[in-house]
Structure 1
Amino acid sequence: MATSFSELIKSPTPTLVDFYADWCGPCRAMKPILEQVKDSVGDNANIIKIDVDKNPKVAAAYQVQSIPTLILFQNGQVKWRQAGVVQAAQLKQIIQRFKS
């Protein structure tokens, strides 16, 4: 099982990363959306959350300038990214496009 951020994003399994902060209202709105997406895609994708206040270097490395920012990684490459709240149906479609 992959344990570090770099191992997860290098996986052939799509990894959706939610860059967020606890104080951000739209970020809090993403939590139930991401739970719904995880329930429907199961093991076809990894979904992780990165707190930009606790991990500023990771956020800076991926030029996260607004939150929430969602980035889909696969095999270490950015396959998709978008800032702002994204609905579950759209996220599921994007993950389906890249699933192994």
Structure 2
Amino acid sequence: MSKFGELIDVNVPVLLNFYAEWNEPSTSMHPVLKDVAAALGDKGKVIKIDVDKNRELSRALRVSGLPTLMIYRKGEMVWRQSGEQDANTLIGILNEYI
């Protein structure tokens, strides 16, 4: 969990995408996340977390629906949503925390 703390305790917003390769809505988010990362540049981070490979973290954060998206800023969760989102919506929300 300390590695997770290092990922989220930064001065830029961090968008976490909890996904599974077997979950179609999760995989359909991959191109959206690439667009979001490109739009953010170095003003934010986008990190994909495979729930099957990170079961303990997923359980600790109570991830049940996929995909689950979270935004952290300076170590604190500032936004969370389950389900697919479009790039413009995510970029708009992230810009609030830049």
The two structures have a TM-score, normalised by structure 1, of: 0.93
Indicate the residue corresponding to 1:71 in structure 2: 70
Q: Deviations over 1:3-57 (max 9, x none)?
A: x322110111110000000100000110000000111111111100110011011
Separation of aligned partners in 2, 1:53 and 1:40: 28
Indicate the residue corresponding to 2:26 in structure 1: 27
Runs of 4+ deviating beyond 2 Å: none
SS at 1:11's partner residue?
coil
Separation of aligned partners in 2, 1:25 and 1:82: 17
Separation of aligned partners in 2, 1:51 and 1:33: 16
Separation of aligned partners in 1, 2:48 and 2:36: 13
SS at 1:48's partner residue?
strand
5+ residue gaps, structure 2: none
**CA RMSD across the alignment:** 0.7
SS at 1:66's partner residue?
coil
Separation of aligned partners in 1, 2:14 and 2:39: 15
Indicate the residue corresponding to 2:88 in structure 1: 89
Separation of aligned partners in 2, 1:38 and 1:54: 22
Indicate the residue corresponding to 1:11 in structure 2: 10
SS at 2:41's partner residue?
helix
Aligned length: 96
5+ residue gaps, structure 1: none
